[in-house]
Amino acid sequence: MNGSFRIGRIFGIPVLIHFTFLLVIPLFAFIIASQIVTTADLVAEIYTVPIDMSLITAGYMPYVLGTVISFGLFAGVLVHELAHSLVARQSGIRINSITLLIFGGVASMEEALPDPFVELPMALIGPVTSLFVGLVCSGLVYLTGSIVKDPGAGGLFIFMFGYLGVLNIILFAFNLLPAFPMDGGRVLRAWLAKRMPLHRATRIAADVGKGFAVVFGLIGIVFLNPLLLIIAFFIYTGASQETVAVKYSVLLQDIKVGSIMSAPVMTVAPTLPVTRVIEMMYATKHLGFPVVDHDMLVGMVTVADVQKMSPIDRDAMQVRDVMSRNVVVVSPDTPVTDVLRIMSAKDIGRVPVADTGKLVGIVTRTDILKVVELKEM
Ligand SMILES: [Zn+2]
């Protein structure tokens, strides 16, 4: 995901942080700190445990606690995503990474088509893990009294574990909502998919998700609650994306690049002047050409490569001066769904197809969309 950087690896899975996450930590810390007395009362009430407030409200302590609880919350989110990832990996799905972002975590996996028998346990384990974390934190609330003798310090721990316990149980409940992209949406889809074709199961699950989004949105408007409006938007777009993604995977299932690529390909030589390439782009309406030297693919030249140069520089340059050399190449046997994934991951619109280094065709986003349209008939 753009705007993410890696912080480490757990169980061999790269863990990334999105920049929105860095914004939300201080915001959460501030919110927790500014409402600390009210929330401590609430925590005391929920667990029916008295909380000594002497240290909690002292000096900068509300902000320290707010920061610790914010990190604790995201540690809980990370454990939740790790649980999904480990169950997925046991079923043979490749896990690319886990990214923590503003609304929690996202595990990026390579799964062509969801299999209900794999998806059901994989989706359920996340909320179950959050419930477990929540219950462990809640258990620690009751243990604190007998371990920490100082009432002030005890108050700190009771508040912290109590707060994290409640948050993780909310995470559990919220994720079980039967609405994409919540885990509950996946559980519903997997349950339906055991009884009907996957694309129908997805459409029904997505419609339920959109229904929830509309209800949340209306409540958000009536009570002027921006958080509910954001969640409504988040669920609605998630549900729509899931329907489209599955539609594509179903329609493009078993189709190989070789059968849909455009061939022969118009290519350019590395020594061709850049001005000539621009003329070719105008004439052919192609936005990029593979660069071929002695029958071998050596690069790709696209509008974006040309645009990087100023018009004056373009006059003196050849294709080899501006072309991209690290070109993603697929083979005629590559499944089209894989190409689509590569295109969206790398944000490219065309991928050359080569057979043992020799260029045999090119596949564009438009080619794939045309196949989808034809298949939809
Ligand atoms: Zn989850």
Tell me how far the alpha carbon of residue 175 lies from the centroid of ligand 1, in angstroms: 6
How far away, in angstroms, is 343 Cα from ligand 1 center? 26
Q: Tell me, in angstroms, the distance from the centre of ligand 1 to residue 185's CA.
A: 10
Task: Measure 239 CA to ligand 1 centroid, in angstroms.
Answer: 15
Q: How far is CA 228 from the centre of its chain?
A: 21
What is the Å distance from ligand 1's center to 191 Cα?
16
Q: Output the pLDDT for position 135.
A: 96
In angstroms, what is the span from residue 212 Cα to ligand 1's centroid?
Answer: 18
Task: Tell how far the Cα of 16 is from the centroid of ligand 1, in angstroms.
Answer: 16
Distance between Cα 98 and ligand 1 center (Å): 11
| Structural domain boundaries in the chain | 4-251, 257-376
pLDDT of res. 103? 62
Q: How far is the CA of 110 from the centre of ligand 1 (A)?
A: 16
Whole-number Å distance, alpha carbon 126 to ligand 1 midpoint, is: 5
Residue 298 in tokens: 């050596």
CA of 82 to the centre of ligand 1 (A): 9
**CA of residue 127 to ligand 1 center, whole Å:** 6
How many Å lie between the centroid of ligand 1 and the Cα of residue 78? 10
CA of 317 to the centre of ligand 1 (A): 51
Strands laid side by side in the 358-364 sheet:
288-293, 296-302, 358-364, 350-355
Per-residue pLDDT of the chain (377 residues; tens, 9 = 90+): 567 888 889 888 888 888 877 888 888 889 888 888 888 889 889 998 888 888 888 888 889 999 999 999 889 988 998 998 899 888 888 888 888 876 666 777 666 567 888 888 988 999 999 999 999 999 999 998 788 778 788 888 999 999 999 999 998 998 898 887 788 988 998 899 889 888 888 888 889 989 988 998 999 999 988 878 888 887 888 788 777 777 777 788 788 888 888 878 888 998 988 888 888 889 888 888 889 888 788 888 888 888 888 887 777 888 888 888 888 889 899 888 888 878 877 778 888 898 887 888 889 888 888 888 887 77
Q: What pLDDT is attached to residue 102?
A: 64
pLDDT score, position 111: 63
Homologous superfamily, domain 257-376: CBS-domain (3.10.580.10)
Using CA atoms, how far residue 64 sits from 34, 72, 134, 159, 164, in Å, is 12, 12, 21, 13, 15
Distance from Cα 183 to the centre of ligand 1, integer Å: 5
Q: How many angstroms is it from 23 CA to the middle of ligand 1? A: 22
Contacts 24+ apart (CB under 8 A), 366-370: 367/260, 367/261, 367/262, 368/252, 368/260, 368/336, 368/339, 368/340
Q: Which residues contact 263 (CB under 8 A, 6 or more apart)?
A: 353, 360, 361, 362
Ligand 1 centroid–CA 312 distance in Å is 52
